[in-house]
A and B are shown apart, each in its own frame.
Chain A
Amino acid sequence: MDRLITFERITIEPPLEAIYRRLGYRKGLTQIKSDEARALGESIEQARSLITLKGAARRLPILSKDSRQIRLPGNLCLESTLLAALLANSQEVLLMGATTGAAVIEAIRQYTAADNLTRAVVLDAAASEMVDSALDWMEAFFSRDLRRESRRLTKSRFSCGYGDLALENQKLFHDLLDLGRFGVELTGQYILVPEKSVTAVAGIETTG
């Protein structure tokens, strides 16, 4: 199972509802005029054209686990009680990583510098939601295969820096997923650059 699978182009539609929600839109409360909606649509379209979603994933067997640790091949270990609880019934993990690429980040920087923060904020929100959707997409991709194997993914996934899964684990994800091939780098503070890059782990459970 342990082979890196890469996705050079993940094709998804911008998740409009999620982008609007991230920007603070509340149905029934927020009022948007037609020209504002049109401008927003144009910004989201621009984000789409600037974003090239790429991703990588890797299935790894869980060698052993307890309530605090998940041990993976290659003497790798993820320490987190919350993750251990999520993976309580899992025999494998699916590590995932995705990035929007650097072009949209550069556009955000340029718009901010040019005093067009309105557009920068919409591009930022669109990029955040699209890279998150790329992980949903990867989960959907693997779920289909897993169903045929009588397996499934855990209902939720976990990212470094959340709960008690230390951000330092980002290095393990970055290395195992070979995110460098997409131009994603890891800073000394374990932050992925370009900033709209994400990683996550989900468990693989046997059904029935």
Chain B
Amino acid sequence: MKKRPLILDGATGTELQKRGMPAGVCPELWCIDHPEVIGGVHADYARAGCDIVYTCTFGANRFKLIQYGETDARSVNHRLALIAKEALRGKALIAGDIGPTGHFIQPFGEVDFEEAVEVFKEQAAGLLEGGVDCFVIETMMDIQEARAALIAVKETCDLFTMVTMTFERDGRTLNGTDPLTALTTLQALGADAVGCNCSTGPDDMARFIGAMKPYAKIPLIAKPNAGLPKTAGGRTVYDMDADEFASRAGALVAAGAGILGGCCGTTPQHLAALRKAVARKKPASPLRKSLAALSSARKTLLLEPGRPLAVIGESINPTGRKALQEDLREGKTALACQMARDQEAAGAALLDVNVGVPGIDQEKAMQKLVQALSVATALPLVIDSAKAEPIERALRVYPGRALINSISGEKEKLRKLLPVAAKYGAMFILLPLTDKGIPETAEKRAVVVRAIEGQARKLGFTRDDFLVDGIVMTAASNPKAPQETIRTVRWATETFGARTVVGLSNVSFGMPERKWINTSFLAMAAASGLTAAIANPASEELMFVKKAADVLGGRDRDAAAWIAHCAKAAGGGKKGAPIEDLPPDRKVREALLDGNREAVAGLVGEALKAGLDAAKLAQEIMIPAIVEVGERFGRKEYFLPQLIASGETMKIGMEVLEPFLKEGLKTAGERGTILVATVKGDIHDIGKNIVALMLRNHGYQVVDLGKDVAAERIVREIERHRPRVVGLSALMTTTKTQMKAVIALARKQGEQCPFIVGGAVVTKAYADSIGAEYARDGVEAVQVIQRMVR
């Protein structure tokens, strides 16, 4: 790779089909029966100049082979590796190919994580016995499955292992992982090269490689299809010939790929052309030796200098939280997941997870909670435990790169946790205390930091892989303690060159009005270069100070996050104030047209105070305004949310107006009663609710019977309310027939009231057939009913 990119092979499946493999067979088993054919494909790729050729074992895992009645996955892999070895005879290296199982792994699917690891270990063992030179885990769309496969290979041998994910054109895997997140997770977990294959052609793939390159400490792989798949004459074809495919190689190398190959639709000719095209292109070396970043399955948080201070949400900790303790005891995760969502919405960047309830199996509880949180939130997790076992369990099953809270200089912790952190590539919070206790001064803490770092270096860690904990002590018991924390943070940032973190709220313990102490301390620490704070993101004061500190510390470019935060805090989603210089009646009209529910009550009151007649306001301003809304909806100038917002605004306005209307002029119910119901068996009633709102705003008294209403009840209510019209709704073909039953029963019992029907599956023809009127939406329902009652 120092002189030119390494070349991987191209497509195997399409080559096998060209050479006689019938559709619908298991390619791996067919190749065992036809070793000369797959051997020919391997040899052709070697002749084309490929440096590494994949074994034909993409689907040779237990889950897939069993579908064809084969149960000995290890033997299948072994034999196919031997076939590759025999065909290549040292002319190219052999990569043991591991593809997806076709199932999703917990927490995203039903397959137990350890079962998946075992399935991949079985495959890896067979390939290793067959003599492969390296491994490739490819076409992964689930980061958790990629992790399971990588762990399996790493626990089987120490051969060079590549992992390639499949991204859709939107830049994410089907399971929502973006290229940077895949890289962050997989390179931390020990992949020797990471990249992408399949799914897209070379053009899109250059984008994905480009997104990874600035953060890669390992070589990047691009193995694109020969363009995008198209169907022609019943076959799937790819639109790039060998020359066109090769012409895109330069862009891939420029984007940062150091290992190239071809996927679906490519042939030995494509690979020969590719090899020729990059013969003199020197790939760029990885830009980094280390990366300070954490990831979930869907998101990466870079802890680079100049990035905003990260708030680590502290709520998921049972200490002092009885409800959470109870949930964890009962094996429930719902409350913790809600806490996660709330903290995410409040602006947390990471979530601390602690299951320290006495008497429970913390290892089991931690696994369950981490898996649930991996689904509930996109934020990366901080695994917080005083014990090593729950941390190890969490790191194994967590589909991202987590942060350990924490590893101290205590001998037992160092011995147990450093190797675990190294194995799973986790970052950790370095807590500068020892078996002798907490050093009081920053200088003494620095000595401990350096000692722990020395141990960590032996396992491959760098200063980018941990955050130094400033150790926050209570100001109430030691007035000098906060200063020592700040000095520790400053030393770690400016002298030592590491990231820093503090557990904020401890500083104010025992003090009144703690939030002010906490926020002031945060501002001081932020000014000293603090990277992250474990704190409560629900504290408005704290989040304002954090955002302000980001601006003042040059960590919020153009103050964009600050401005957005202020807009949100000011209720940016609410309607603006109406134009001040309009007369009061026009303001009411504008509020109705704008659907300004917040303002309309005040504006109607203001209009009445200004001397406007209530009846006139209703008849000449409000009703015409709501009619105009309906007309705008009919012309498609308004869509449904605007129509309904105006309808709800009208309702609020009329409620204010109603007491001021003289008897006889009241609009509510003046046009008579309409009875509405969603018929028996049907639970879809939002359309009926819209119709009810529209009718009320047009002066009808609406009796809404709700959904799933039996014919007998509807007829009883007709008898009771004597409505001028009955409206029925249904969404399903099966429940539509209930409309007919209701009308038939009503007629049988002598009720002659007219019916109007509507709903997704109801048509005018159907309405005609059952003797009812029809309306397609709320606005039309009002028009039709007005005609019916005239």
Nearest-neighbour CB distance to chain B for A88, whole angstroms, equals 13
A5-B109, A206-B24, A208-B23 given; A29·B573 CB < 8 A: no
A11 within 8 A of B: yes
What chain B residues lie within 8 Å of A149 (beta carbons)?
A: 23-24
A148 to B199 CA separation, bound complex (whole angstroms): 12
Do B341 and A49 touch across chains, with their CB atoms under 8 A apart?
yes
What chain A residues lie within 8 Å of B639 (beta carbons)?
A: 20, 23-26, 30, 32
Of chain B, the residue at the smallest CB distance from A161 is B733
Nearest-neighbour CB distance to chain A for B229, whole angstroms, equals 7
Do A7 and B732 touch across chains, with their CB atoms under 8 A apart?
no
Given B23, B170, B636, B645, which contacts A151 in the complex, CB threshold below 8 Å? B23
Do A121 and B686 touch across chains, with their CB atoms under 8 A apart?
yes
A117 to B108 CA separation, bound complex (whole angstroms): 33
A12 to B595 CA separation, bound complex (whole angstroms): 31
Given A30, A31, A137, A150, which contacts B24 in the complex, CB threshold below 8 Å? A150
A24 to B778 CA separation, bound complex (whole angstroms): 12
B744 within 8 A of A: no
Of chain B, the residue at the smallest CB distance from A143 is B229
Do B174 and A140 touch across chains, with their CB atoms under 8 A apart?
yes
Given A112, A147, A162, which contacts B229 in the complex, CB threshold below 8 Å? A147
A8-B109, A208-B23 given; A35·B682 CB < 8 A: no
Given A11, A31, A42, A191, which contacts B683 in the complex, CB threshold below 8 Å? A191
Interface residues of A in 131-149 (CB under 8 A from B): 137, 140-141, 144-145, 147-149
Do B644 and A118 touch across chains, with their CB atoms under 8 A apart?
yes
A30-B638, A38-B573, A191-B682 given; A7·B109 CB < 8 A: yes
Given A3, A52, A208, which contacts B234 in the complex, CB threshold below 8 Å? A208
Do A148 and B58 touch across chains, with their CB atoms under 8 A apart?
yes
What chain B residues lie within 8 Å of A24 (beta carbons)?
A: 633, 636, 638-640, 643
Q: 1/0 per position for A107-140, CB-CB distance to B under 8 A?
A: 0100010011110111011000000000001001
Do A117 and B693 touch across chains, with their CB atoms under 8 A apart?
yes
Given B375, B645, B647, B686, which contacts A8 in the complex, CB threshold below 8 Å? B375
| CB-based A-B contact count at 8 angstroms | 176
Nearest-neighbour CB distance to chain B for A205, whole angstroms, equals 9
Do B176 and A31 touch across chains, with their CB atoms under 8 A apart?
no
What chain B residues lie within 8 Å of A43 (beta carbons)?
A: 641
B306 within 8 A of A: no
Of chain B, the residue at the smallest CB distance from A30 is B639
Given B103, B176, B573, B682, which contacts A5 in the complex, CB threshold below 8 Å? B103
Do B107 and A8 touch across chains, with their CB atoms under 8 A apart?
yes
A1 within 8 A of B: yes
In this complex, which of A124, A148, A151 has the most chain B Cβ atoms within 10 angstroms of its Cβ?
A: A148
B118 within 8 A of A: no
A193 within 8 A of B: yes
A188 within 8 A of B: yes
Do B23 and A150 touch across chains, with their CB atoms under 8 A apart?
yes
Do A11 and B103 touch across chains, with their CB atoms under 8 A apart?
no
Nearest-neighbour CB distance to chain A for B728, whole angstroms, equals 15
What chain A residues lie within 8 Å of B573 (beta carbons)?
A: 35, 38-39, 42
Of chain A, the residue at the smallest CB distance from B233 is A208
A151 to B236 CA separation, bound complex (whole angstroms): 9
A116 to B575 CA separation, bound complex (whole angstroms): 15
Given B23, B168, B174, B297, which contacts A207 in the complex, CB threshold below 8 Å? B23
Do A151 and B24 touch across chains, with their CB atoms under 8 A apart?
yes
What chain A residues lie within 8 Å of B333 (beta carbons)?
A: none
Given B572, B595, B682, B734, which contacts A38 in the complex, CB threshold below 8 Å? B572
Q: 1/0 per position for B301-317, CB-CB distance to A under 8 A?
A: 00000000000000000
Do B636 and A116 touch across chains, with their CB atoms under 8 A apart?
no
Do B683 and A193 touch across chains, with their CB atoms under 8 A apart?
yes
A102 within 8 A of B: no
Given A6, A125, A189, A208, which contacts B104 in the complex, CB threshold below 8 Å? A6
B690 within 8 A of A: yes
Do B689 and A120 touch across chains, with their CB atoms under 8 A apart?
yes
What chain B residues lie within 8 Å of A23 (beta carbons)?
A: 639-641
Nearest-neighbour CB distance to chain A for B51, whole angstroms, equals 24
A174 within 8 A of B: no
Given A25, A42, A116, A152, which contacts B648 in the complex, CB threshold below 8 Å? A116
Do B648 and A8 touch across chains, with their CB atoms under 8 A apart?
no
A121 to B575 CA separation, bound complex (whole angstroms): 18
Of chain A, the residue at the smallest CB distance from B67 is A1
Given A8, A33, A112, A152, which contacts B110 in the complex, CB threshold below 8 Å? A8
B476 within 8 A of A: no
Nearest-neighbour CB distance to chain B for A20, whole angstroms, equals 7
Do A144 and B108 touch across chains, with their CB atoms under 8 A apart?
no
A33-B594, A150-B23 given; A189·B681 CB < 8 A: yes
A167 within 8 A of B: yes
In this complex, which of B199, B573, B682, B684 has the most chain A Cβ atoms within 10 angstroms of its Cβ?
A: B573
Interface residues of B in 123-180 (CB under 8 A from A): 139, 141, 166, 168, 170, 174-176
Do B644 and A121 touch across chains, with their CB atoms under 8 A apart?
yes
Given A6, A49, A147, A167, which contacts B264 in the complex, CB threshold below 8 Å? A147
Given B109, B176, B575, which contacts A11 in the complex, CB threshold below 8 Å? B176
A190 within 8 A of B: yes
Do A11 and B686 touch across chains, with their CB atoms under 8 A apart?
no
What chain A residues lie within 8 Å of B693 (beta carbons)?
A: 117
Of chain B, the residue at the smallest CB distance from A141 is B174
Given B108, B264, B633, B641, which contacts A7 in the complex, CB threshold below 8 Å? B108
A190 to B235 CA separation, bound complex (whole angstroms): 39
Do A29 and B23 touch across chains, with their CB atoms under 8 A apart?
no
Nearest-neighbour CB distance to chain B for A91, whole angstroms, equals 8
A110 to B785 CA separation, bound complex (whole angstroms): 28
Q: 1/0 per position for B643-664, CB-CB distance to A under 8 A?
A: 1110110010000000000000
What chain A residues lie within 8 Å of B726 (beta carbons)?
A: none
A40 within 8 A of B: yes
A193 to B708 CA separation, bound complex (whole angstroms): 13
A190 to B345 CA separation, bound complex (whole angstroms): 37
A79 within 8 A of B: no
Q: 1/0 per position for A181-208, CB-CB distance to B under 8 A?
A: 0000001111101010000000000111
Of chain B, the residue at the smallest CB distance from A23 is B640
Do A141 and B141 touch across chains, with their CB atoms under 8 A apart?
yes
B588 within 8 A of A: no
What chain B residues lie within 8 Å of A141 (beta carbons)?
A: 141, 174
Given A7, A33, A195, which contacts B684 in the complex, CB threshold below 8 Å? A195
Do B576 and A35 touch across chains, with their CB atoms under 8 A apart?
yes
A148-B59, A149-B24, A187-B683 given; A29·B109 CB < 8 A: no
A23 to B633 CA separation, bound complex (whole angstroms): 11
Do A195 and B229 touch across chains, with their CB atoms under 8 A apart?
no
Nearest-neighbour CB distance to chain A for B234, whole angstroms, equals 6
Interface residues of A in 147-192 (CB under 8 A from B): 147-152, 161-162, 166-168, 187-191
What chain A residues lie within 8 Å of B102 (beta carbons)?
A: 5, 145
A120 to B298 CA separation, bound complex (whole angstroms): 28
A3 to B68 CA separation, bound complex (whole angstroms): 13
B198 within 8 A of A: yes
Do B104 and A5 touch across chains, with their CB atoms under 8 A apart?
yes
21 A–B pairs (Cβ distance < 8 Å), ordered by A: A3-B67, A6-B110, A8-B104, A9-B375, A23-B641, A24-B636, A24-B640, A39-B573, A112-B686, A117-B648, A121-B641, A141-B174, A144-B166, A147-B229, A161-B733, A188-B681, A191-B681, A191-B735, A207-B231, A207-B234, A208-B235
Q: Which residues of B line the A interface, CB within 8 A? A: 13, 17, 23-24, 27, 58-59, 63, 67, 100, 102-104, 106-110, 139, 141, 166, 168, 170, 174-176, 198-199, 229, 231, 234-236, 264, 297-298, 341, 345, 375-376, 572-576, 594-595, 633, 635-645, 647-648, 651, 680-684, 686, 689-690, 693, 732-735
Given contacts A30-B637, A190-B734, 18 further A-B contacts (CB under 8 A): A5-B110, A7-B108, A8-B375, A11-B297, A23-B641, A30-B638, A42-B573, A118-B641, A144-B141, A151-B23, A151-B24, A161-B734, A166-B734, A167-B734, A189-B732, A195-B683, A207-B231, A208-B23
